[in-house]
Structure 1
Amino acid sequence: MAFSVCIISNVINGTLLQVIDSYRRVSDDILVGFNGLLAADVADFALQYPDIKPHLLTWKGYGPTKNELAAKAKYDWILSVDSDEIASPELQQSLAAVQFKEINTVYCLLLVHRIGTERVRYGTFGASKELKKRLYNRKAVSWDTEKVHEALTFPKQVTFETLKGILYHHTAENTADIRAKNRKYALLSAENMLEKGKKYTYSKPYLSGLNAFMKQYIFKKGFLDGRIGFLLARESALYAWWKYRFLQQLRQKRSS
């Protein structure tokens, strides 16, 4: 039984092309949902890569946008990956050989983070096996409506299976890229917290930042990754600090 590959992206770059190429051998239905790009750029992409199905989507948040793209897929079984997640050769083999079961079965992939070409082995990114639930049947499973840190919603009776191989997350080329991504995600997280009535205290950004650094660098042994481990812990702390400062700014803007 076949499946569709759905990728959400706001850029056309070398990493996206690597991602697409890693799934060409396992699916004949690869969709890329572009947002924030010009229609002419998407049309040009379609001409250059006729075997890929690009769609220009209006951004509605991660979960809703992923659901919209999945609804356009040829098959009910959906492999949802990000525009920086590349399938290893072993994972490609597993995907090609997967025998789909009931529609309430969800397949998990082992995610491994990389900064540039370097694998992160400790800290929040590498200290434990991170299994991502990514291959599902759209008749039974869908994404929630969170703006960031979206997750799949499941029926009451659901089973999980893990496929062999690695889903390489090309996290960033360097820590500057991570900082840019974190700032964007911090604002989205703050917007979510505001909608849910999350309260802000003066000490929260500092305590949250310190806790994030300690968790990443000490408790999850990020220091064993050397310099990159320290830099990642620093960026994690900054993300946590930003998140609550943005919440403060949003609450002030709402009350003014």
Structure 2
Amino acid sequence: MIKLSGVIITFNEERNIEACLKSLVNVVDEIVVVDSFSTDQTKAICSKYKVTFIEQSFLGYIEQKNFALKQAKHNYIVSLDGDEALSETLQKSIITLKSNWEFDGYFCNRFNNFCGQWIKHSDWYPNKKLRVFDRRKAEWKGINPHDNVLLKDSKSKTGHLQGDILHWTYQTYSEFNNKTEYFSTIAAKAYFDKGKTASFIKIVGNPTWAFFKAYVLRLGFLDGINGFVICAQTANITFLKYTKLLELQRQHQPKK
């Protein structure tokens, strides 16, 4: 039977971290929390559980999560954020997996709670995430802040587990607005560093397509007013990302 490490990164997660830890304690063989020096009660809550608590200045989402992977004792990983937890069905699926590991990694559906409502459409469900994996064969990649686990070998095989990762996202519209500003700034900088460019077509067309895809094609309208808010912000963060990228381009143009 294999042994599993639960790996979590946190910063000021006092609202959600206990649910996260409770969902892991009977599933994994150790829990590692890498915290970016939280100023709330995150550390105190974690101290009530048998966890390895490591404080590390924030390196970037991708970099912090790869750092956290290296702190685990075991190669088989269940990776969560501090505002996520395993549903009861997913807990059972992972426990069964410990004696029947077949693939290099396993996808799980993520079920997002927004302002008290579980969102069932748009781009927010099933929101597949590879979160159970062999760390020798996978790593966190992507463009900050949009991190995801990728398997290193294109021939790697994946499975899909029953149950959901429960994700408590923004609980107020103001929180959502503030995070949209924050994440769009990070994304613009990451795009700029990778040599990506903004244009009129991207600034106008990409947000329009993002809204249409989420609200119409992926049935975001079925989630009511919150579905509209989510899809509108999906367009807005795309718009902000490219306008901020354009601003960076102009700031770094050679002076005439």
| Higher mean C-alpha deviation, range 139-148 or range 233-242 | 139-148
Aligned to 1:134: 131
The two structures have a TM-score, normalised by structure 1, of: 0.88
Q: Work out the number of aligned pairs and report it.
A: 251
Structure 1 residue 151 and structure 2 residue 152: aligned?
A: no
TM-score, normalisation: structure 2:
0.88
- 2: distance between equivalents of 1:156 and 1:224? 36
State which drifts further: 89-98 or 172-181: 172-181
Q: Partners in 2 of 1:87 and 1:45 — Cα distance?
A: 18
- Alpha-carbon distance, 1:56 to partner: 1.0
Identity %: 22
Residue type at the aligned position of 1:159: K
Question: What does the per-residue CA deviation read over 1:26-47, in whole Å, with 9 as the maximum and x for residues that have no partner?
Answer: 1231111111536x9776556x
Hey, what's the Cα distance between the residues in 2 that align with 1:67 and 1:198?
Answer: 24
CA 1:89/1:182 → structure 2, altered by over 3 Å: closer, same or farther? Answer: same
Q: Aligned AA for 2:27?
A: V
Q: 1:101 aligned to 2:98?
A: no
8 Å CA contact 2:17–2:42 kept in 1: the answer is no
RMSD across aligned C-alpha pairs, in angstroms?
2.2
Query: Residue type of the partner of 2:144?
Result: K
5+ residue gaps, structure 1, are: none
- The answer to whether the 8 Å contact 2:17/2:45 transfers is no
- 1:117: Cα distance to partner? 3.1
Residues 1-59 of structure 1 deviation map (CA, whole Å, 9 limit, x = unaligned):
12011111111312122111111111231111111536x9776556x325122111122
1:86 and 2:89 correspond: no
Q: 1:189 aligns with which of 187, 204, 216?
A: 187
In structure 2, the residue matched to 1:123 is 122
How far did 1:156 drift?
3.5
Secondary structure (helix, strand or coil) at the match of 1:14 reads coil
Alignment partner of 1:97: what SS? Answer: helix
1:189-214 Cα offsets, whole Å, 9 max, x none, are: 11121112222224532332222222
Gaps of 5+ in 2: none
Alignment correspondent of 1:111: 110
Q: What SS is found at the alignment partner of 2:137?
A: coil
Following TM superposition, by how much is the alpha carbon of 1:242 offset from its aligned partner in structure 2, in angstroms?
Answer: 0.8
